[in-house]
Structure 1
Amino acid sequence: MRKTEEIVRQFHESWDLRDPERSVAVIAEDCQFEDVARSERQIGPDGYRMDYERWRKAFPDGEVKVTNVIVDGDRAVVEFVNRGTHTGPLQSSLGTFEPTGRRQEPRYCSVMRVKDGKVVEGRDYYDATTIARQLGLLD
């Protein structure tokens, strides 16, 4: 169980280190990762890099703080807070959102599976409406 926790922590905590390759090191080539709120999939390390760059461009001061990790064998649930100031364009399947200069601090939950030392699947759950409100995109 300890190994699974170390891997999922490395995956998430690399954001604060501004080191996407540290996350890539624990992502399987065929990893299927889904952003449930946006109905988007990131496949493997290249999908992760694209998603990392998109969010880092929109929130260059962004940080992720893991608040809880629950492990059961090869599966883990990771709760975290994602903070940052929206100073760059945010591109998504929902459109491009121009910078608002406002901070966002939503809570997230990732459900992940690890096999042979790599993340092979995952899903991020969060409330997109909370982000939109914090950024001033909704009343």
Structure 2
Amino acid sequence: MNLPWVERADQDGLLAAVTVSRIETFTRRYYGLFNDRRFDEAEALVHPEAVFSYPAAKEHFIGPAGYRELAQRWTAAFPDAELTITDVIVIGDIACTAWIGSGTHLGTLDIPGFPPIPPTMRAVQLPMCETIRVVDGMVVESRMVFDAEELRRLGL
């Protein structure tokens, strides 16, 4: 029996699966560009009006320049920084990404919403969670959260 709504459901399911796959692939590529220090390429994936925010901060970073500033702040503090994705869950156009930021704390860490943290010379691993909204192949919104207590535990 040929039921039109079943065919439509199959098509919608396939479209949803393709979208989820594309957003996860996009997200992994985006983090990979950071790890490879290919910031120009990562910036090209950021919408000019994208908003980057930390819930703990009142400060927002806008567009490719905002991405660049955040990337530079992180790599100034951790020149050997590496972001390791531990999980990606995609819901609609949002990728919720759990990752671990690791590196040696050799420079001042300037995290929005916190006082600057002078170098400790310690190797650290900081669990983070970032939600990234992707529309038309571009980051339009990013919210990053982490446990501030984890910074203290790591001696930062």
TM-score greater than 0.5 by the shorter chain: yes
| More helix by percentage | 2
Structure with the greater relative contact order (CA < 8 A, sep ≥ 6): 1 or 2?
Answer: 1
Alpha-carbon contact 1:4-1:73 (below 8 Å) kept:
no
Distance 1:33 1:95, change over 3 A: same
Distance 1:108 1:7, change over 3 A: same
Matched residues, number: 136
Alpha-carbon contact 1:105-1:131 (below 8 Å) kept:
no
Paired with 2:106 and 2:53, the residues of 1 have a C-alpha distance of 25
- RMSD, aligned CA: 1.6
Paired with 1:91 and 1:108, the residues of 2 have a C-alpha distance of 16
Unaligned runs of 5+ in 2: 1-18
Q: After TM superposition, list the pairs within 5 Å mapping 1:1-139 onto structure 2.
A: 1=19, 2-93=21-112, 94-134=114-154, 136-137=155-156
Deviations 1:52-109 (A, max 9, x none): 1111011001100011111123111111111011101122442322111012212111
| More strand by percentage | 1
Q: Structure 1 residue 39: deviation in Å? A: 4.2
Q: What is the TM-score when the length of structure 1 is the normalising length? A: 0.88
Of all paired residues, the percent bearing the same amino acid is 36
Task: Provide the residue aligned with 2:4 in structure 1.
Answer: none
Q: Secondary structure at the match of 1:90?
A: coil
Unaligned runs of 5+ in 1: none
Q: What is the TM-score when the length of structure 2 is the normalising length? A: 0.80
